Structure 1
């Protein structure tokens, strides 16, 4: 076994991109072969300096990628983030510190750039806490038993609005503006670049098994596009030759509850569809209660989703809004030295300031717990009960919850 020093960890060149992609596929236990078509499709993704590889000779044995992202803070402000993806270590080279070396390089560069946060979707829960990441959003998938839902099979009452099936070109024109309205009202939502829209409408195809879905758009009575649903339908028949199709939602974004209601009712009213899989939704999504019989929507999956790593405590806490008035002194621990310190947060509905202080701390917590609290989904009182936050002043956990928790839970609709 070679020592870690024998493995070169560095940003890759464009010429090394095919070998890096091969290592990504191997790390995710997929066939370690990169076709010419996939390579051609992915060429537009390459960004010098933000693709890191660990090389043993000419062979790439670990991979890491980051890219610019915006995350919506509580209240709607967009925060600059370092989005991390394609993190792999080949099975033959585990336990050699390769991920730590790649992560350290990337987070230092993100801090230097002025990014407020780093983000990722954690495939394995135990890995990322040691780098200062904490789970900040979660998601839920429901499966709807359509015959039990109690909806009118004739379809939704659109009240002057309309639903249309549209083409991929239409989605690329209409989708970005709708998504921008949705994400500014959704803490935890992230930006989508042009690559995202091309990939998810088939203009760019990296997966040979990709099939074109249906795209349904909801327009309000004044013609404004307020909702977009992307879905597939399988082909299944019961033994009695009765249709038993499942519609699976790839994504639904909406800027109004009326659009959500109309699109879900539309999908559940399609002939032959007897079951609907909702895809990844917010944990407090309206969906079950949009049905006359909410128990017809059963939870089929629930898990953590986007993880956050705070890189700048002051800017992160000042970026979000607060529904109540109060002050809190936080002792933030950060073993990596990127964001630790003692900070006084003074907040009200009119704004917030966060400054370094020498005052006695009200709460002591690791930077990963601060990340978990930042979007408002977790309770400081709960974390204290778990031993993950220390109350240095009696009642400080309740005070933190009064400041930080939100009326609706944060949600990140996207995988990255």
Structure 2
């Protein structure tokens, strides 16, 4: 089978790079996602090359072709070639020497099949010759791409034992590329070894989970994960109620898709404290943790603009999508609107007769509350409110 002649294959820099790496002698191929996604007529975002050259030779050839060569993963044979249209990873063929479920010790090889065999799924083990487009398929990946089947290479239990993260990757790849029922052998193996996820760093779990939640509609896949207790060892808070909330959220978000952090909030009970605990456990960034906790606030979110003024536009959109009875109408109120600034400060109140100090701060808060409650009126109305509140403070 021949790889379709997608536009990315005709990038002059890429052609020059593959020629320098010996494509005419069969020393370099496109590998992995670029081949899979081109077969599916999807955009190719990450381009990887594999080569039978040793890393030092590959690096020298990259530089000789006029490109910067960055040793981004030299211990594992990866050199990044910096092209005008973006980086391209060039990795020497490898075989696993030992694995412990979290990382692998590798040795270099010149055997293309051996390198392909260490990859996770058949659809990710495809490679193609740059000039001819000939596809090399050692494990039936082309057929699996065609029918939307995500299938481990070889024994699923053995592949999971090599890298426990493959449990979550299986579900993510099914959510993105799968059609129809999941491969039963893979699903059973993931369910049997779900506790292995506890050995992984929480950062790796979070990264993979957020990628899964970022697909067009992760709900059916998440539902299966809940039914088979895949997430229970690391995220016991996620249950069928969370699946139902996620389904509602996805329907509200529309075809543009949704944000993974917001979708994670939907999976959790409406409890800000618990959401913050989950964010801490997953070692999310401070900004992500704050967003997760704000989104988890239960109850009616109230007036959209009042909410956005209090917690910010992004957090307000999260809360409205999750909690509003009429999310579409409420979100429309935030279109082309930014939270304004109170057109008055403490100095204005001092000029009106207040003494600098706590009374100014308290009066300013009272003015701001009334301004927000009245829907952010103009400066004239704010001054009228201020006159009333200053008079009250001076009594």
Structure whose residues are more often helix by fraction: 2
Bigger Rg, which one: 2
Structure whose residues are more often strand by fraction: 1
Q: Using CA pairs under 8 Å that are at least 6 residues apart, name the structure with larger relative contact order, 1 or 2.
A: 1
TM over 0.5: no
State the TM-score bracket (shorter-chain normalisation): under 0.3
Using structure 1 for the length normalisation, give the TM-score.
0.25
